[in-house]
Amino acid sequence: MWVLLAVAVVVVGFALRLNSMLVVTVAGITAGLIAGLSPVAIIRAFGTGFAGSRSVTVFIVVLPVIGLIERYGLQEQARRLISRLRRLTTGRLLAAYLLIRQATCALGLTAVGGPAQAVRPIVAPMSEAAAEREHGRLTDRMREKIRSSAASADTVGLFFGEDIFVAVGSILLITGFVDATYHLKLEALQIALWAIPTAVCALVIHGVRMLRLDRTLSRMAEQGRTASGRGGGSR
Amino acid sequence: MIKVEWIFWLCAGFFLIVAVLRLTDRGDTKRLGSAAFWGILAFTFVYGTFVTTGSGSSLVEGIAVLALAALAGVGHPGRGTERTTSQEERKALADRFGNRLFIPALLIPLVAVVFAAALAKVTVGGHLLLEKDFATIIGLGVASVVALVAGMVIFRERHLATPFREGDRLLGHIGWAAILPQFLATLGLLFNEAGVGKAVSRITNAVLPHGVLLLAVLVYCLGMALFTMIMGNAFAAFPVMTAAVGWPILIQQFHGNPPAVFAIGMLAGFCGTLATPMAANFNLVPAALLELKDQYGPIKAQIPTAVPLWVCNVAIMYFFAF
């Protein structure tokens, strides 16, 4: 049961918002020591683990081109495009993005969206522009709220879309593990079909929340106006 | 055959360029530490190729990795001086280029999809053209290069350094959070070795009420969500919870429909992924990338969806899987 000490390191570290890299390193060393590994073996584990999981960091290769098009005014153009579509509010835009993200992921096209290549350069500026058209200047709180929501639409769409696609990692893990351990013969397609009810629930729940964002933003804009009306301002 | 390692070297090249840019940035007070950080990271990406094939020493890689953690711990890498266009310049540029600005941005998913959907199955001389299981990552790497070339041509940008300076600007906003997901993957390995999974399954068995289906479903789904939050990954939770509850209780005792129980159990775990900083690549990296003040902003936006969705999973499993 001592291993749970390593888990506690992580929970406490993240809760206190200490530097995450240090928290994870200390937790890893703690776990390794509890497992009875020698210091050298722990360092080796860090090396193998890091080398073996380089693929999660590959998203950074898009940064030069994204930075380049930002330099030439992409976010500005994304804003302009939205200002012509008057009926597209922030909430409707994000709900639509959620649907597109989920549908494309269900077809296995997970590279269509993503925080680096879609949310930062296109979805977030468009959502902000739609809110600016409605409320004028945005407060910092509103901006944070809109960007967080844009990130959430991307992630929820990915998680509960990709599981409908047959050849995705989680389905292969289920069939691989269960077939090998319990001698069943599960069809990947059956598992994918059973992901559909949850996917529909995710679309409805998160979609409705994205649509309701418009009302939340109106309320926040109202609060922002009264706050700055009192001469306080939050800049 | 195109290997995924080439893409890792492409990343290493980018990190190396960023290291040089940091080193030559006289306005950056943290320039030495920042350059060291990105330089060491470039090394781990190239040397990692040899570590995964067994010809390199995992000890050397491990020491480099701990050096990265130490640098991050004392506040490196820094952000550097931003040399990009002003808001006014961007307005004028948007006037000039209009919707052509979207071409490179749309080329990324387009090329990536061609790789993932079409080229993934192409064989040349009996071998797959793209390394097995890595078509999406290879596609993303190639797509960024194609989009970059297209952007340079469309904007008639003459300086090759410009996109890298802009990439350095964005990477500066992300900072060490860029490699946190990789660190967490490593932590997962150490957790497994230390027997976190065994401890969780022992606790689960202790609290598991026998003979009541609804409670068994609740324990399975709750265990998936909580253990996923601890590990940051539903894949780590699935074998543990399935061995403890899913198979012996839900399938063998209550005769549940295996594909339904396992698929929904995994999705209950995904609800946990939405709510944990341990899933840094989905939750913390976007916060850094969007320059949020609250690094937990995306998690806070996701929890009100994760909770009702988890309840839906319990209900779907209880009513339709038995």
Mean pLDDT, residues B172-179 taken together: 88
Q: Is B135 helix (H, G, I), strand (E, B) or coil?
A: helix
Condensed to tens digits (0 to 9), the pLDDT of residues A126-151 reads 999 999 988 988 999 999 999 999 99
Q: Which strand (E) or helix (H) includes residue A218?
A: helix A196-229
pTM (two decimals): 0.84
| Among B66, B76, B190, the residue to mutate for chain A (most A Cβ within 10 A) | B190
Written in H, E and C, the secondary structure of A90-129 is HHHHHHHHHHHHHHHHHCCCHHHCCHHHHHHHHHHHHHHH
Nearest to B94 among A76, A149, A169 (CB): A76
Radius of gyration, CA atoms only, chain A: 22
pLDDT at B210 over 80: no
CB pairs < 8 Å spanning A and B: 435
Whether residue B317 contacts residue A199, with contact meaning beta carbons closer than 8 Å, is answered with no
Instruction: Determine contact, residues B182/A50, Cβ cutoff 8 Å.
Output: yes
d(CA B231, CA B224): 10
| Residue range A189-235, pLDDT digits in tens | 888 899 999 999 999 999 999 999 999 999 999 888 887 765 444 44
pLDDT confidence of residue A184: 84
Question: ipTM, 2 decimals?
Answer: 0.86
Contact of A141 with chain B, judged by CB distance below 8 Å, is answered with: no
| Confidence at residue B43, expressed as pLDDT on a 0 to 100 scale | 97
Contact A21 B72 (CB under 8 A): yes
Q: What is the largest CA-CA distance in chain A?
A: 71
Bridge partner residues of B130 (DSSP): B2
B-chain residues within 8 Å CB-CB of A23?
Answer: none
Query: What is the pLDDT at residue A167?
Result: 66
Residue A35 vs residue A111, higher pLDDT: A35
For residues B244-249, average pLDDT: 88
Tell me what the mean pLDDT of segment B275-281 comes to: 90
Q: What average pLDDT does the segment B272-283 reach?
A: 92
Q: What is the mean pLDDT of chain B?
A: 90
Does residue B152 have a pLDDT over 60?
A: yes
Torsion sign over Cα A167, A169, A174, A178: positive
| Token code pair at residue A121 | 């350069």
User: Rounded to a whole number, what is the distance in Å from the CA of A169 to chain B's nearest CA?
Assistant: 9
Residue B5: other Cβ atoms inside 10 A? 18
Residue B269 has pLDDT above 60, yes or no: yes
Of residues B221 and A58, more confidence is placed in B221
Section B257-278 average pLDDT: 94
Looking at residue A235, its pLDDT comes to: 42
Listed in sequence order, the residues at least 6 apart from B105 whose beta carbon sits closer than 8 Å to its beta carbon are: A66, A69, A74, A117, A118, A121, A122, B147
Of residues A196 and B130, more confidence is placed in: A196
- Which residues in chain B (137-196) have CB-CB distances under 8 A to chain A? 137, 139-141, 143-144, 147-148, 151-152, 155, 157, 162-171, 174, 176-191, 193-196
Which residues of A fall within a CB distance of 8 Å from B94?
72-74, 76-77, 80
Question: Is residue B51 very low, low, confident or very high in pLDDT (cuts 50, 70, 90)?
Answer: very high
| Alpha carbon distance A122, B197 (integer Å) | 41
Residue-averaged pLDDT of chain A:
87
- Cβ within 8 Å of residue B292, ≥6 positions away: A144, A147, A148, B298
| Distance between B52 CA and the closest CA of chain A, angstroms | 6
What pLDDT is attached to residue A232?
Answer: 44
Query: In this complex, do B305 and A202 lie within 8 Å of one another by their Cβ atoms?
Result: yes
Q: Which of the residues A17, A159, A185 would you substitute to probe the B interface, choosing the one with the greatest number of B C-beta atoms within 10 Å? A: A159
Output the pLDDT for position A234: 45
Which of B8, B140, B187 is opposite residue A111, by nearest beta carbon? B140
Judge contact between B112 and B134, C-beta under 8 A: no
Give the side-chain half-sphere CA count within 13 A for A92. Answer: 9
Decide: A206 and A226 in contact? Cβ < 8 Å. Answer: no
